[in-house]
Structure 1
Amino acid sequence: MPKNAAEPVVRPPRELNRVIFRKLLPLLIGAYIISFLDRTNIGIAKEQLQIDLGISATAYGIGAGLFFITYSLAEIPSNLILHRVGARFWITRIMITWGLISAGMAFVQGEWSFYVMRMLLGAAEAGLFPGVMYFLTQWFTRADRAKANGLFLLGVSAASILGPPLGGLLLGLDGLGGMHGWQWMFLIEGLPACLLAFVVWKKLPDRPDRAKFLTAAEAEDLQRRIAAEDEAGAEASGTHSMRQVWRDKQILLVVAVYLSQQIAVYALSYFLPSIIGTYGELSTLQIGLLTSVPWIFAGLGAFLVPRFATSGGRSRNLISVTMVGICVGFALGAVSGPVVGLIGFCLGAFSFFAMQPILFTFPASRLSGATLAGGIAFVNTIGLFGGFLGPYVMGAMEDLTGSKLSGLWFVVGVCAVGTALSFFLKYGEKRS
């Protein structure tokens, strides 16, 4: 028998990555499509909720943002639980609870029940995004993580492309069975999360050594290479505990940049339909279709840009350039007419998810193990307060000025600060 006949077969890293992408990403992207659809579908129903329930623009902005308060507060414990019990069980639990609560949004009666249900939805969904970000660090080495993160974020773009037209159609069911169109929308869009949860339970492996599509030797080799990278990064940074994470200036820089980006993302997610509604006499379906256009460009950004983030210097430069793109895009949206304004929103949306998957590789270059799980959740926790602040300021400025565009200048200012801070990001260097 030849000497190497008994040696375990390990496919080359590039081939192995293709297999992992094919087996994991479609399922995770599907989950994120549904999650983003369920958290933002109130955007297309804003005008109907105001008419049917008497909810003001400020109250709408508060309700939209309250989701992120409870979401943020539950993120770190959620990710630490996922680290302990495994992604398969915990993501399944997240999906079932948020699906039921999202469908329950059909039964809100006014401002306070709207607030309560949004807060419950945030608590139920908490942990999905940071959980997947942590989960992917267990499957991909540093050079491939930005690409994996970017593909996962295609779920946001897909939801934002499909959601508004679908919501517009479902709003057309108004009066069917004595129910409002927005009630049908919440019911129909909430239940798919529960159904996909059972597929996640059956198909998602917790880690490489439990994956049927990898040989034992491949799983062992992959885990060894990832562990060596993560331990080297944590050793170089000197950050080994959550207390140190909170004092690591590089992690705090990531948090600040992410906060500014999230303010922009959710300002656009929740208020773009009503902004487009000012462009002329448009039906809910037409508004939905036009709302989808910037998110097509967001998907292109997530697909095209992160693959070039193969080093710390490139990653920082790409983040800085795309943050400038957000500032320019929102400024154009604030000062221009329908055509140029929509082009500006397309530029801003392209930049959103070109930079976000790259940004989340920075914590993974400095942390490992449970500290990495908690650190990613910490970044997302503080950053997602932007999901409250963006919609709140947009709604308050609309009520104050009567213009749906006035809040965009707040977004431009915050993102300009985020752009300046991004120039100081460093990859896996000693904690300062």
Structure 2
Amino acid sequence: MSDTTMTAERRHHLSEEATKKVFKRLIPFLLLMYVIAFLDRSNVAFAQQEFEIDFGISAASYAFGAGLFFVGYAVFEVPSNLMLHRVGARWWLARIMVSWGIVAACFMFIQGPTSFYILRFLLGVTEAGFFPGVILYLTYWVPARHLSRARGYFYAGIAIAGILGNPLSGALLEMHGIANLRGIQWMFLIEGLLAVAVGIWSFFYLTDKPRDAKKWMPADEREALAQTIEAEEQAKSEGHAPGSVMKALVNWRVWYFSAIYFCIQIAVYGVTFFLPTQVVAITGQKLGFQASLVTAIPWVFGLLAVAYFPGLADRTRKHRLIGCCLMLATATGIIASGVFQANPVLAIGGLSLAVMGFVSMQPIYWTLPTEYLTGYAAAAGIGLINSIGNLGGFLAPNMRDYFKETIGGNAGLYSLAVGALMACLLFGITAFFKKANEIEAGHLDAVDAKIIPH
């Protein structure tokens, strides 16, 4: 049946079938890539104690170095995303992953603060563009009505990295002495080379756009899906979306969304970079495989949350309400983990609540900015939001260390809750954005219905 004679009902059916294939083929692989990315940026948490004992990397130096990742990340984020839009995701995501894997493996050669700082900065430079690149890539493949769910599956990588990656890191630490290498050297080497291997695989596995999916999607499904995505892109460009790279970079909404993401990341990385040592302090265990199993507990709850809440937000169109509640849960959980530190069950419960909130909030958050942006403006805008937002990852460990040293007690931990509360407030204020309310009401669903009725 030709494209001109294809009925709207059949087009809807074909688009839905194509989307199912996208979820089966692309989403699991992108998830795997993100698991490795999050593992390689956060595994330094398992080396913190040994860094301090063997190389004189103090708590303040560790916090500064951990955050330096996001400086390199921020500087190269926008140009990297523009390059992805120009040359295609398949080639560019593979390049990113192979290069960051090489740098991640080089962490085995750290000898002191200077080498630690240099490698953390380079890791950010080489990984820059991966996350916003995938967020952009999903808009090429997934209709608006399914995007929160798709991003939710992708964000599950954070939780899976904690569930499987933390025990892996803990187990690799126990290879200490094999081939005259320390445990942390084995951890950095193996996890870095894993990224290189998957990066090479991604070049042969990923597909740039729906019309390129000739090997795994029928022609009529490819065309129906491409028409759906194109109609939504057109709807964005006719609304409030900035039409060029420069307009996206100076658009006040883009900067506002960057501020929200900045506050979210304060909570995310303020917890993540110190989770192993916090668990050790709570449980009294030695940092290793057994302690890593306890650190996996909050991520199990995070995985359950991200499997449920983004889909709930899509079905109910209550992205703002659900997102705000999740950030309140994060703030509450962070505070509870400090207040009940003497009670391991309640403290781990607090950390679990915090992780549930910030993991499942992030795919919901992206519903608004990604539906404001299209084309090169989307590549630039998403890159800028992620770039500025992730500087919260630089601030978080340094802020936590500063308040801990100047005020004492759990002041550093509690400062992270302020970031979560600010994210809640700023996200709630989007109720005054006309376009945000249209998105929550299913504006792009309605646009899509003009050619593919639901």
Structure 1 length-normalised TM = 0.94
Match 2:386 to one of 372, 380, 384: 380
Answer whether contact 1:76 1:378 (CA < 8 A) is retained. yes
In structure 1, C-alpha distance between the alignment counterparts of 2:221 and 2:284, rounded to whole Å: 59
Q: Residue 169 of structure 2 corresponds to which residue in structure 1?
A: 167
Q: Residue 272 of structure 1 corresponds to which residue in structure 2?
A: 275
CA drift of 1:400 comes to 4.1
**RMSD, aligned α-carbons:** 2.2
- 1:418 aligned onto 2:423: yes
Q: In percent, how many aligned pairs have the same letter?
A: 37
Match 1:141 to one of 119, 125, 143: 143
In structure 2, C-alpha distance between the alignment counterparts of 1:15 and 1:424, rounded to whole Å: 37
Give 2:370's aligned amino acid.
Answer: A
Q: What is the SS of the residue equivalent to 1:423?
A: helix
Answer whether contact 2:39 2:161 (CA < 8 A) is retained. yes
In structure 2, C-alpha distance between the alignment counterparts of 1:163 and 1:48, rounded to whole Å: 19
In structure 2, C-alpha distance between the alignment counterparts of 1:295 and 1:400, rounded to whole Å: 31
Q: Residue 253 of structure 1 corresponds to which residue in structure 2?
A: 256
In structure 2, C-alpha distance between the alignment counterparts of 1:418 and 1:3, rounded to whole Å: 49
In structure 2, C-alpha distance between the alignment counterparts of 1:153 and 1:45, rounded to whole Å: 25
Alignment of 1:78-157 (within 5 A): 78-157=80-159
Q: Deviations over 1:230-266 (max 9, x none)?
A: 2212321152223333443433332222111111111
In structure 1, C-alpha distance between the alignment counterparts of 2:199 and 2:279, rounded to whole Å: 34
Unaligned runs of 5+ in 1: none
Answer whether contact 2:248 2:378 (CA < 8 A) is retained. no
Q: Residue 289 of structure 1 corresponds to which residue in structure 2?
A: 293
Q: Deviations over 1:86-111 (max 9, x none)?
A: 00000110111011110000001100
Unaligned runs of 5+ in 2: 439-454
Give 1:241's aligned amino acid.
Answer: S
Q: Deviations over 1:389-424 (max 9, x none)?
A: 111122333444564x33121111122122111112
The 3 A distance-change label for structure 1 pair 52 and 324 is same
Indicate the larger mover: 305-314 or 255-264.
305-314
Q: Deviations over 1:91-136 (max 9, x none)?
A: 1101110111100000011001000000011101111110000000
Match 1:236 to one of 236, 239, 242: 239
Q: Residue 298 of structure 1 corresponds to which residue in structure 2?
A: 302
Answer whether contact 2:18 2:225 (CA < 8 A) is retained. no
The 3 A distance-change label for structure 1 pair 7 and 226 is closer
Q: Residue 323 of structure 1 corresponds to which residue in structure 2?
A: 327
The size of the alignment, in residue pairs, is 428
Q: Residue 367 of structure 1 corresponds to which residue in structure 2?
A: 373
- 1:339 aligned onto 2:359: no
CA drift of 1:160 comes to 1.3
Indicate the larger mover: 18-27 or 335-344.
335-344
In structure 1, C-alpha distance between the alignment counterparts of 2:250 and 2:315, rounded to whole Å: 24
In structure 2, C-alpha distance between the alignment counterparts of 1:71 and 1:27, rounded to whole Å: 22
Indicate the larger mover: 55-64 or 304-313.
304-313
Answer whether contact 2:14 2:225 (CA < 8 A) is retained. no
Q: What is the SS of the residue equivalent to 2:226?
A: helix
Q: What is the SS of the residue equivalent to 2:96?
A: helix
CA drift of 1:286 comes to 2.4
Q: Deviations over 1:250-289 (max 9, x none)?
A: 3333222211111111111110111111124313222211
Give 2:339's aligned amino acid.
Answer: V
Answer whether contact 2:282 2:347 (CA < 8 A) is retained. no
CA drift of 1:22 comes to 0.3
Give 1:213's aligned amino acid.
Answer: W
Structure 2 length-normalised TM = 0.89
Indicate the larger mover: 181-190 or 394-403.
394-403
CA drift of 1:3 comes to 11
CA drift of 1:430 comes to 10
Answer whether contact 1:365 1:428 (CA < 8 A) is retained. no
Q: What is the SS of the residue equivalent to 2:135?
A: helix
In structure 1, C-alpha distance between the alignment counterparts of 2:266 and 2:396, rounded to whole Å: 4
The 3 A distance-change label for structure 1 pair 48 and 176 is same
